[in-house]
Amino acid sequence: MRLSDVLLISSLISAPVAAEELTIVSWGGAYEAAQRQAIISPFTTETGLDIEVAVYDGSWSALAERGSAEGWDVIDMLADQASVACARGLLLEIEPSSLFSQAALQDFTPFGPDRCAVPQNAYARVMAFDDRAFAGVKPTRIGDFFDITRFPGPRAIQRSPDGILEWALLAEGVPPEQIYGLLSTERGLRLAFRKLDTIRDEIVWWDDPAEPAEMLGDGRAVMAVGFNGRFFDVAQRDRAPIDIVWDGRIIGIEVWAIAATTDVPDAARDFIVHATTPASMARFATRIPYGPTRRSAFDRIGFNPDIGLPMRAYLPNAPQHGGRVLVRDSSWYANTEELRQRRFHSWLDAAE
């Protein structure tokens, strides 16, 4: 999702520096900038520790290859990647109950810390539309994405089965808790692709996560699948007439984890505790629309310091959005990679 940022930043950053006190690994770009301001700087001020930030592509294999050599300590990961890394022994086990009080553990949402990882923020795959394309009634539900009679026009979709299969079944009225179970059956996949067939002629594909917002802006699409942060940037910073439909948002969770090879486990734990306080989460969420993973942090979220917008409304997991929410099932994703790609490509080929 943040591949372009990652590539950009990694070209700027030179070879590894191993002798730092604490090495934090993140994604680069605006995301990392927000982390620096909201979490890392206050931690440095508080503890006096020297912090180096490295950038990686988010995969557990990068951790396996570079982690030890570059002295990685704390890593920002996607929840599913962290669970794979944890199973492979690449991460330090953290005993959540030794880091957090019982009340704090219950404050986490939608799930709490596990053996190796502490949830830190939530992003979402959402549907957005070009307001100019629909003068009257606006799309409000995922079903509208598949309704080309009421809402005609091209749809921008990632050239990948991710997310769109879930939406196809949501549009058929399947409740979120059954989506992944149904997609695990032959019949479920068949129904999802049948739904996709109904908009086949209206699909414009994208590969780079920056594209959907651009496509909405320049009229190549009237509706798009994309990530909430990207849509936010274009809509709020560039003042583009793009609105997000929160129904059916698919929430992914970012976690903090500690490399098994760390030489400063105590400092790493201190950092994670600091980074996942409601105050740190709230400071981060005011800078970039990635929601906190603790309920109590929502009450502290105020205005974005740059553009002066109240940020609570733009967070993917803000309680006031309502509608249907799907939490990305990371183990299902990990297990069905091959099947989904195969079925998706045979569906693509069937068109040609």
Partner 1 sequence: MTAGPNTIPAPPLLRMLVLTGVALVVGGAASLAAIALVELVSLLNTGLLVAPKARVQWESLPLLVATTTVLVPTLGGLMVGLAHRHLSPAGRPLGPPDVIEAVQFHKPLPGLRDGVISTATAALSLGAGASVGQYGPMVYLGAIFGGFARRLRLGVPNLASIAIGCGVAAAISTAFNAPIAGVLFAHEVVLRHYATRAFAPVTVASVSGYFVANVIFERPALFRIESPGIAHGYEFVFVAALGLLVAVGAILFMRLLLSIGPTLARWITRPELRTAMAGLAVGLTALALPDVLGIGTSTLRFATIDGAFGLTEVIVLIVAKTVLTALCIAAGFSGGAFSPSLLIGSLIGVFFWIMASSIAGVPSSGAAIYAICGMMGFASAVIGAPLTCILIVFELTRNYDVTIAAMVAVVFSNLLSHRAFGRSLFDVQLARRGIDFSLGRDRARLAALKVVDHLQPEAVTANADDAPEHVANRLREQGWREAFVLDRDGKLLGVFTPGIHCDIGSVRSGAVPARLVFDDTTNLAEAMERLRSFVGDAVPVVSGESGKYLGAVSEADLVSAWLDESARLRKEENASI
162 binds partner 1 per the rule CB under 8 A: no
What part of residues 77-96 is at the interface with partner 1 (CB under 8 A)? none
Distance of alpha carbon 153 from alpha carbon 177, whole angstroms: 30
174 binds partner 1 per the rule CB under 8 A: yes
Strands (E), 28-160: 51-55, 74-78, 117-130, 155-158
Q: Which of 44, 47, 160, 184 binds partner 1 (CB under 8 A)?
A: 184
Q: Which residues are within 8 A (CB) of 242 and not within 5 positions of it... i.e. 6 or more apart?
A: 128, 129, 130, 131, 213, 216, 217, 231, 234, 235
**DSSP tag of 299:** G
Q: Which stretch binds partner 1 (CB under 8 A): 44-52, 85-93, 184-192, 253-261?
A: 184-192
Q: Which of 12, 187, 266, 322 binds partner 1 (CB under 8 A)?
A: 187
244 with 231: CB under 8 angstroms?
Answer: yes
What part of residues 321-340 is at the interface with partner 1 (CB under 8 A)? 332, 335-336, 338-339
Q: Which of 71, 139, 163, 188 binds partner 1 (CB under 8 A)?
A: 188
Residue 187 parent element (H or E): helix 186-197
Q: How far is the CB of 316 from partner 1 (least distance, A)?
A: 20
Q: What share of the chain is helix, strand, coil (3-state, %, to 5)?
A: 45, 20, 35
191 binds partner 1 per the rule CB under 8 A: yes
Handedness of CA 175, 179, 183, 186 (dihedral sign): negative
User: What amino acid occupies position 68?
Assistant: S
287 with 37: CB under 8 angstroms?
Answer: yes
What part of residues 193-232 is at the interface with partner 1 (CB under 8 A)? 194
Q: How far is the CB of 175 from partner 1 (least distance, A)?
A: 5
352 binds partner 1 per the rule CB under 8 A: no
180 binds partner 1 per the rule CB under 8 A: yes
Cα dihedral 336, 5, 212, 38, rounded to 10, equals: 90
Which CB atom, from 174 or from 216, has the smaller least distance to partner 1? Answer: 174
Q: How far is the CB of 7 from partner 1 (least distance, A)?
A: 32
Which CB atom, from 97 or from 335, has the smaller least distance to partner 1? Answer: 335
Q: Which of 182, 215, 235, 272 binds partner 1 (CB under 8 A)?
A: 182
Q: What SS3 state is found at 242? A: strand
Binding site for partner 1 (CB under 8 A): 172-175, 177-178, 180-182, 184-188, 191, 194, 332, 335-336, 338-339
